[in-house]
Amino acid sequence: MPSGYAGAQPAPVEREITQQERALQLRQQNRERLMAKVKKRAAVVPLTPQQKQREAEQKRAERARNREMLAMHSRWQPGTLGGSDALWRRSQSAKAKKERVSPQLASRLRTVMERLKAQLGKPYVWGGHHPLEGFDCSGLVFYAFNHVLERKLPRTANGMYQDPHLKPVRADRLRRGDLVFFNINQRPGADHVGVYLGNGEFIEAPRRGLTIRISQLTDNFWQSHYLGARRILTDEATL
């Protein structure tokens, strides 16, 4: 065998490995360019109105929690409303325009709202259903609505939730005066009820030791215990 032959053999193999590596590098570069284009296209796709509203609601709930924490500081003063609050209000305003009500229904709703808000700050009392003694959650609803109804409501939260005369309402269709129901104690059925006020707020008699207050439906606690909603007042009937 001629000398030097064995040393010349690796050259073709060496060139073959280099070509494979170069091809692999080119494929990786092409993949990276394609991924960059995909990301760029995804970045410019505008949000849908529903996505914008969900994002606004999340930011609004986070700000509400931050305000509660800041309110404990003696020097804190509330600031101006941000963009997501404005978006929330615009969406609620647009929804309200779509759901115009008759003057008769508007009058009944106004009466209910006035009776509810007049109880703010009064104590929670289990079994209470009168301003002079205080209210539990269903007692507050019972007091506020029965004044304008032909048929009285059931007395308990679960009785109201199960009442076939009350119209179920989707969360995205909530209107002022709708009842919102929760399951807090993990027993079957509804064990808490409040009245939706609009703008993501509802009024409630929370529990012993607390007073009647306005709460945020978008708070994580209420969202995790939310059961559903029912409509009492409609243009078709007064129950």
Catalytic residues: 137, 192, 204
**What are the CB-based long-range contacts (under 8 Å, 24+) for 17-21?**
none
3-state secondary structure of 62: helix
Task: Find the distance separating the first CA and the last CA of the chain, reported in whole Å.
Answer: 110
User: In this structure, what token pair is assigned to residue 1?
Assistant: 């065998």
The residue behind tokens 């007395």 is 155
Q: 140: phi > 0 → left, psi -120 to 50 → alpha, else beta; which?
A: alpha
Provide the angle, in degrees to the nearest 10, between the axes of the packed helices 137-146 and 103-117. 140
